[in-house]
Every structure is written in structure tokens, then in C-alpha cells.
A and B are shown apart, each in its own frame.
Chain A
Amino acid sequence: MDVVADKTQLDISASVELLRERWPDAISHDNRDGFSGIIVDPAQLDDVALAMRDELGFDYLSSVTGVDYLGVADHMEVVYHAYRTSGGPALVFKAQTGRDDPRVPSLVSVWPGADFQEREAYDLYGIHFEGHPDLRRILLWDGFDGHPLRKDWQEAYYEEEHKPFDSRWPGGQVYRAEEKNVFGKNVKYPDDFDLGRLNDVSESDLYQGLGLGVDVQALDSDGLRTDRLVVNLGPHHPSTHGVFRMVVTLDGETIASLDPVMGYLHRNHEKIGERNSFLHNLPFTDRLDYISSMSNNLGYALAVEQLLSQGARYSPPTYRAECLRVLMVELTRIVNHLWSLGFLLNDLGAFFTPMLYANNEREKILDFFEATAGSRLMCNYMRFAGVYRDIPERIRSVANLVNDKVRDYNTMDYLTEMVNERLPRFLDEYDTLLTRNEILRERTVGVGVLLPEDAIALSTCGPLLRASGVPYDVRRADPYSIYPELDFDIPIGKNGDIYDRFLVRFQEMRESVRILRQILPRLERSQGEEVMSKVAHTPRVPVGEAYGRVENPKGELGYYVVSEGDPKGPQNPWRYHVRAPSFINLTALGPMCVGHKVADVVTILGSIDIVLGETDR
């Protein structure tokens, strides 16, 4: 028993050595320039993964993604990042498979949290995960032609492999993509496509997956054997916080099964991201989790900085820049939690009043963002090795549009007032009004319970994970920026129900205020320091891979970036993958809802706090 306990403490290289001793043929180091981790033979993958989880203690599978190395090594690769919930860096392992018929064993039996991520890799790369219980497309519809993230798959509006396009350079002429496409629209059909045989199969597998075993759409006569009812919630439904859809099987009013259907906002982030240059992608990250754009920026900047720091001529962000980053990210956390709590109460039937109150405070923070970054929502503020610019001297904001009275504040006074008075006062008020509210407790206590071991197994993250009693926060477990020197606690829940998630979010806002109080004096002290290190606007990113992750308000946001690194070639990521917390947290939605009433589904979904821009990407 002692040996096992020891093994869970081993650092990454010792863990790898231990695995290599046991499977000398199946495991090799990833020796490519700039890459790390191990390459595991697919035939042994499940055994190795089981040993990683049970013996070495890597109980948390953070990210699974595919990469297509067409033209480089001509294989497909599945990249896994596993962590320990006790903290520490990742164990990165990869499985390589041929491009023609890519097959890799599924790890859903080891880490159930791999479920949606493997489906996504199947959808976008066509990688078959053998043994996956329900391998269907997840973002695109059934019957879609091709697997779009493969390098040889071209979209209808395809122009060139890399941006900036040659046609846009001096001397080039810009024409609209519609003119190039014979259909005049963003569509393309396979060469052997026959409209005569067209039938809509876009949902052919969906209802089969519900375990009904019969085509529910034909259930109108004698075929009806049970009183189960299939109800579609969404994609247009106010409670789904966007364009999300749940196919719910009801037994009376009780949920028998729930199948999330997504992809209604799948706007091809990753494909576009591979054509964009590294810097191009920054404003796109704003639009992932569009409520907390600042934190999204930070995650991506951290990932690319990891790569940049391998090369020459890189200097890390200055202290002031780090302070500004933390300031923005913690304000974003408050913005996000205000919004999510407001809408959670909205879902509970407190129609709009709590949300309107929360929104008042949120708008104050957005004013500060607008004054600093130039935009309320899509801030695009972080840069590699710094931030876009320093906070301005003064903030001017218009109260509303009736009287265009402009209010003019000194920025530091504005922030100080907000952090020391306004936000604490508001949080106390909100707390008094809501936390012990009878109706709130009746609707949330004991509903949607997620046990800690399930929460870890399902790879959930953020407040959802912590409300289940797992004190896992990337800011502490794998620190970045100046978090190590800041004093704050990680609030956790006890029961893992909706009420605990509410409390955890509430407490996190208070902790954020606490962090902000420590940041403000640091800002005063570092006044006048540069906020942007000297890095070229189109930095030469060295070859390699990087996984940058941050504790976003919604959970762990990770960016997996692979750089080709050709110093003279185009500066585009070869692979740009987003490990989206909302997407992976949804894995837990089905298990949490089963057995509850249909009205609780709305609340449970609200308590996960998803945002569709990130879920569907």
C-alpha cells in the first residue's frame, strides 16, 4: 500500500520512467523538437491509461484532441493531458494512428470525461474510438460530408492555406468569397452528390441513442408500448442560455434520460484558427466565452508565451502587465458570476429582477473595460508578453441614453471605490436577499447532486467541480501569472447540489474582491512601468506544442497550440484547440438530471453555467 501511495507522488519524469519500465515496447518519448510527453502504442493504450489513473494518481483527464500531421509525418495523433487533482503539471501522452483508417481505443471506460471530447475528435477528424459507447457526430449533423479539421478538407470559401492571404497584400485585389463559389453561398457538395436521392438524415442517429430502440417519429399508432415521452428543449428556448438543445425522455414528469445536442453555434473556431496567424487568433478567443473575454485572452496568451519563451528574443511580461492581467481576469470572474447567478435565479422563476440588479454592477465593470480596452464585451486586451495598453487616467461613461450626462472619474478612484465599497456592499445586499431565501433553497438543495468522484471522473471543472467538494483550482494547482504571491482561498461546497454551486460562485466573487484589494496597491506601486515587452507584432513562434490553461470563471480553459515553426514560413498554428470548460462540463448534465423533474433540468443547466460560444466553438 505504501508503494502505491508513493507512486501518486512521483513527478512526471519518474512516472514516465515507471511506465516505460513496464511497457518498454509500447511507450516511447516524444523526441520531436519542442514536443514533450510520451507516445503510447494504441494497442496498449487502455492498459497504460488504467495504470496512470489507478497507480500513478492521474485521476483527471483534462483534454483530448486530435491533430492531423498531413505532410509532416502523415499520421493522425490523439493528444491527452492528464492531471492529478492534488495538483501538479500534466502527464501528456499521445497515440498515433494512420490517416486512412484512424483507430484508437476509447478511454471512456477509464475516464468517462473523455466521452464528448472523443466524439468531437471523431466528428472533426474521423478518428474512430473503438469501444466508445455512443460514437456519433457531436457538433455537426449526421450526414455532413467529410471531417472538416483534416488538413486536406477545404471549406467552400477556401482561399489559401495561410493568412494573411496573398490577394490582400499590397498589389493584390480583394474579391468576395461569394464570387468565387459557383453557388454564390458558403456551400459545397460532393462531386457525386445527387439531389434526387436527398433525404434529411441530420438526426437519424439521435433518437436511436436514447435507448428507445424504436423510431420515435413513427410512434403514432400501434407501435406505442410505453408511456415515455421525448421532449426537445431547445435550440430555441430561453432557459438554455443560447442555442443549446436537450432531448429529454420523460417517464411521466421524471427524467429518464437526457441527451445534449449541440453544434448550433459551431462556428469553426479551430479551422479558422489554423489559417489565422498567432496574433489573429486573439480577438477570436474573445468570442469563445463571450461573457468573460479577458480570461480567454489570457489563456491563449499563456499558451503562445510558452512557445515563445523557447525561442530567442523573448522577454516575459513586466510586473505591471501581470498585475493588470490579474486585475482584468478577476473583474471578469465577478462579471461572469453576477451574470450567471442572475440567470440562475431567472431560471428559478425570479423573473429578471435579480438579473437586473446584478447587471447594474456588471455595467460598472464594463465601463472600466471599455475605457481601457476600447470595447465593452470583446476586449481583446491581452497580448503576447504583455497587455494592449495601460489603464487610462480617467473614465468617462454615459449614465444612460435619456440624459447624455457624461460622468468623469479618475480611474484608480473608480476602481478603489468599486472594490472597497460598491462590490462588497452589493454582494452583502444580494446575499441578504437571496442566500437564505426559502424558495431558492427549496428548489436547489439536494437537486442535481454530483458526487466528488463522479465530478472528477467526468472531467468537470470550475465551480461545478469545487461545489462537489474537490478543491481543484488551476490558480493553485498549476499556478500562473502572479497568483502564487496573492492571498486567497478556494471555496468548496459540501453536497455538490445546485445550492452549493450558488454558494461557491458567491464566495468566489468575494475572493475575487479580496484579490483585487491586493492588486490595487501593486498597481499604484508599479505606476509608469511598461505594460508591453518588446515582442514583434508578428512574433516568430518556435516549433513545438504548448498547453496553456487558466482558471476561467466557468472552469479550466485550456489552449493546445502546435506550431510548425518554420522561421521563414507563415506564422500560423498548425493546430489550435480549445479545451472548453462549458463543453466538458456538459458531460455531467445527463447523469445529474436523471431522476429529477423536468422543471429541474432548467435549473441544473443554469447551475453548470454554460456559454454556447465556447461549447460549440
Chain B
Amino acid sequence: MAQTDLRALQDTEFPVPEELQANIAITSLDKIYNWSRRSSMWPLLFGLACCAIEMIGTAASRFDFSRFGFEVMRGSPRQSDLMIVSGTVTKKMIVPIVRLYNQMPEPKYVLAMGACASGGGPFKEGYNVVSGVDKYLPVDVYVPGCPPTPQALLYGMITLQKKIDGQSLANLDDVPWYGVGPSEPTPVPVLGPDIIDPRQMELIREQAQQAALEAPFGARELPAWVNPTEVAQEATAVVETQEGAEDGVDPAKAARIRKREEAMARLAARRAAKGGQ
């Protein structure tokens, strides 16, 4: 890298002679440290789904992200700085993903590539799909698209470099890994009847018990503030009372009650079937 111009690194009031500025830089520790880090980010060779094809396309001959410092992709998490989560994260796969993330040395970054990794994407409603890798791992950059084009991915990666440029060793909220002692690994999810996040054991326990006592799944009422029918109903209720309409039962409410009853019947049938065997 003989051609490297060090002018970008200058971070001082101290006058460096003009003709030397390309070769000599007087700078701060933050700046040179970040500069060297972000100029050699090695991504983990790790593809999940469709986006991985575009990621390989970005790494390959035409777009070639080595030009931006993402020199080589490493097969081992021990040698990589950046995890590009390229594709749909499933419940079965999140377990290895968290393990891989834990094995990466700090400082480490996560880039959620595409709609699926960012929030579930087109497969969000799927029973085996985690709606976004950020449910388990801290994500630094989200790249939208399905799949993002190589241009979009490169832009996301350059955005990550900018983010690194802005980090400071002095600010531990920003970069927790410069604190004292090793940081805690992310707890690995467990595959039970459905995926279980160990960080939320207590919450799950409470809510599962509550759910079992009150009503079966699918019949659960929403809190008022998120229930759109109820909000709409409240808005119209004012008008209705003024008009003095007394039709009796509100149709929206009746529909909800009916749905609940149907679900209860389903549950009863299921329990009877279980008992019968």
C-alpha cells in the first residue's frame, strides 16, 4: 500500500509541512486505530439464503469488495470481524448463528443483509422464521432489499466503516469491549417445543402460565392500545351514544366473542384427543 495517502489521518493542530503530509501523519490514537480496523474488515464466510448469492456476487470479479478493505472472507469466526447475516434466519439456524457470533473475537460487527435478516421479510409469518436477527444479536447496519443489489450491500458496508470511524476508545457506551474484563457471551437459544430465548425465561414462564389459565392461543385479546377495532369502536362510540342507538351487541365485539368460543372449542377437542390416546 505504498500509494496510501495519509492526509485522511491528520488529526492535529500541529503543522506538518505540506510536502510531507502524504507520508507523515500526526494523529490521535482513536483515529489511527479506527482507520486500521475499518480498512481491513474481514467478513465471515457465512451465507444463509438468497442474499448469500448476492454477497458472493459482491465479493466476486465484478463488484469486488476487496477494493474497500473487506479483503478476504474467512471461514473461521475466530479470524473475522464482520458477520454479514445474508438471508432468512430460521429458528433452527439461529442456534449456530449465536454460537458463531460468540466465537468471533471483539471488536465485532453484524450487518443484517436483506429484508429477512432485518425483520423477517416475506417469510416473517413462517413458524420456523426468526423475525430479524436483531432479536438475538446486536445489529450495526441494516441493508434493505430482497435481495439487496451488490451496490446496496457495498453501501451498507461503507456505512459500517463510517460508523467505526466515529467510535472512540474513550466512550465505553459506544464500544463496550474496551471496558475492563471480558464481555458476556450472548446466551444460546434452546430448541424446545418452540425456540426459547434464555434471556427471557422468566417472562416466558409468566406469560405462558397466564396464557394457559386464561385463554388458548389465537383467542388472546389485544391490549386496547393496539387493537384497531377497539380504537375505531371507541371513536364511533361517542357518535353512537349521542344518536342513542341501542342495537344491543356490537358486531365487532360479537365477532371477537365468536372467535374466542371457536378457539375454546378447538382447544377442548384437542385436550379430549390427548386424553383419549
A: residues with CB less than 8 A from B are 100, 139-141, 143-145, 148, 152, 154-159, 167, 172-173, 175, 177-180, 182-183, 185-193, 195, 198, 200, 202, 235-238, 242-243, 263-268, 271-272, 275, 283-284, 287, 290-291, 355-357, 359-360, 363, 376-378, 400-402, 612-613
Contacts and interface: CB of A to CB of B under 8 A. Distances in A.
B208 A186 contact: no
What is the interface residue range for chain B against chain A? 35 or more
Contact of A360 (B61, B88, B127, B194): B61
Contact of B196 (A157, A182, A198, A400): A198
Contacts of A195: 196, 201, 204-205, 208
A180 B191 CA distance: 23
A173 B233 CA distance: 13
Contact of A180 (B96, B147, B222): B222
B76 to A, nearest CB: 10
Interface string B238-277: 0000000000000000000000000000110000010000
Nearest to B72: A352
Given A175-B228, A377-B53, A400-B63, A183 B207 contact: yes
A291 B149 CA distance: 14
A319 to B, nearest CB: 32
A50 B129 CA distance: 40
A190 B193 contact: yes
Contacts of A242: 47-49, 52
B173 to A, nearest CB: 25
9 contacts: A145-B194, A157-B124, A173-B232, A195-B201, A243-B47, A263-B90, A268-B125, A268-B128, A268-B129
Nearest to B120: A186
Helix, strand, loop or mixed for chain A's interface?
A: loop
Interface string B215-229: 011101010001010
A270 B57 CA distance: 29
Contacts of A143: 191-193
A140 B194 contact: no
Given A242-B49, A363-B61, A400-B63, 13 more contacts: A139-B128, A144-B193, A145-B194, A177-B125, A179-B222, A264-B90, A267-B123, A267-B129, A268-B123, A268-B129, A356-B61, A363-B57, A378-B147
Contacts, number: 195
B110 interface: no
A141 B60 contact: no
Contacts of A173: 228, 231-232
B93 interface: yes
Nearest to A275: B125
B151 interface: yes
B172 interface: no
B6 interface: no
B195 interface: yes
Contacts of A266: 90, 92, 128
B181 interface: no
B7 interface: no
A271 B127 contact: yes
Contacts of B49: 242-243, 265, 267, 287, 290, 612-613
B207 to A, nearest CB: 5
B48 A182 contact: no
B87 A265 contact: yes
Contact of A356 (B60, B75, B88, B200): B60
Contacts of B45: 238
Interface string B34-63: 000000000001111110111001001111
B135 interface: yes
Interface in B131-187: 131, 135, 146-147, 149, 151, 154
B190 A200 contact: yes
B126 A359 contact: no
Nearest to A402: B67
B29 interface: no
Contact of A193 (B64, B75, B193): B193
Contacts of B120: 186
Interface in B58-84: 60-64, 67, 75
Contacts of B231: 173
Given A173-B228, A175-B226, A191 B93 contact: no
Contact of B100 (A140, A236, A268): A236
Nearest to A174: B228
B192 A272 contact: no
B86 to A, nearest CB: 10
A518 B51 CA distance: 34
A145 B211 CA distance: 17
Nearest to A370: B149
B124 A191 contact: no
B171 to A, nearest CB: 30
A189 B208 contact: yes
Give 10 closest A-B pairs by Cβ, nearest first: A268-B126, A145-B193, A173-B228, A290-B50, A202-B191, A155-B127, A267-B123, A356-B61, A157-B125, A264-B93
A263 B92 contact: yes
A400 B62 contact: yes
B130 A186 contact: yes
A25 B54 CA distance: 56
Contacts of B93: 235, 243, 264-265
Given A140-B92, A200-B190, A236-B100, A272 B123 contact: yes
A284 B54 CA distance: 17
A438 to B, nearest CB: 26
Contacts of B50: 287, 290, 377-378, 613
Contacts of A612: 49
A148 B204 contact: no
Given A183-B204, A193-B208, A402-B67, A148 B127 contact: yes
Contacts of A152: 266
A272 B63 CA distance: 34
A460 B240 CA distance: 66
B192 A198 contact: yes
A401 B193 contact: no
Contacts of B63: 400-401
B88 A265 contact: yes
B196 A186 contact: no
Given A188-B217, A200-B191, A401 B266 contact: no
A186 B52 contact: no
Interface in B22-41: none
B197 interface: yes
B62 A154 contact: no
